[in-house]
Homo-oligomer: A and B are copies of this chain.
Amino acid sequence: MNPSEWFTEIVPVAQSAFSLKIKQKLHEEYSEFQHLEIYETEEFGNLMVIDGCTMVSTRDNFFYHEMMSHPALYTHPNPKRVWIIGGGDCGTLKEVLKHASVEHAVQIDIDERVTRLAEIYFPELCESNNDPRADLKFIDGIKWVKDAAPNSVDIIIVDSTDPVGPAEGLFSEAFYRDCFACLSENGMVVQQSESALYHLKLIGEMRNAMSNAGFGHLQTLFFPQCLYPSGWWSATIASKSDLSTFREQDSANKAFDTVFYNSDIHKASLAQPEFVKKVFSLK
Q: Mark A residues whose CB is within 8 Å of B.
A: 1, 3, 6, 8, 10, 13-21, 41-44, 60, 197, 222, 224-226, 230-232, 257-262, 264-265, 267-275, 277
Q: Which residues of B contact A41 (CB under 8 A)?
A: 15
Q: How far is the CA of A42 from the CA of B3 in the complex (A)?
A: 21
Asked if residues A271 and B260 are in contact (CB atoms below 8 Å), the reply is no
A60 to B277, CA, bound (A): 17
Cβ 8 A contact of A1, one of B17, B261, B274: B17
Known: A14-B43, A222-B224, A224-B230. 15 other contacts (CB 8 A): A1-B3, A15-B41, A15-B42, A16-B44, A17-B20, A60-B197, A197-B226, A224-B224, A224-B231, A257-B274, A259-B273, A259-B274, A259-B275, A261-B274, A262-B273
Distance between A269 CB and nearest chain B CB, rounded to angstroms: 7
A185 to B224, CA, bound (A): 36
15 contacts between A and B (CB under 8 A): A8-B19, A14-B44, A15-B20, A16-B43, A17-B18, A17-B20, A17-B21, A18-B19, A60-B197, A197-B226, A226-B230, A232-B232, A260-B274, A261-B274, A264-B271
Shortest beta-carbon distance, A64 to chain B, in Å? Answer: 13
Within the oligomer, what is the number of copies of this chain?
2
Identity of the chain B residue whose Cβ is nearest the Cβ of A222 in the assembled complex: B224
B14 touches A6 (CB 8 A): no
Q: How far is the CA of A60 from the CA of B196 in the complex (A)?
A: 12
Cross-chain contact B15 with A16 (CB below 8 angstroms): no
| CB of A134 to closest CB in B, whole Å | 24
Q: How far is the CB of A254 from chain B (nearest CB, A)?
A: 10
* Chain B: CB-nearest residue to A276: B260
Closest CB in chain B relative to A229 CB, distance in Å = 9
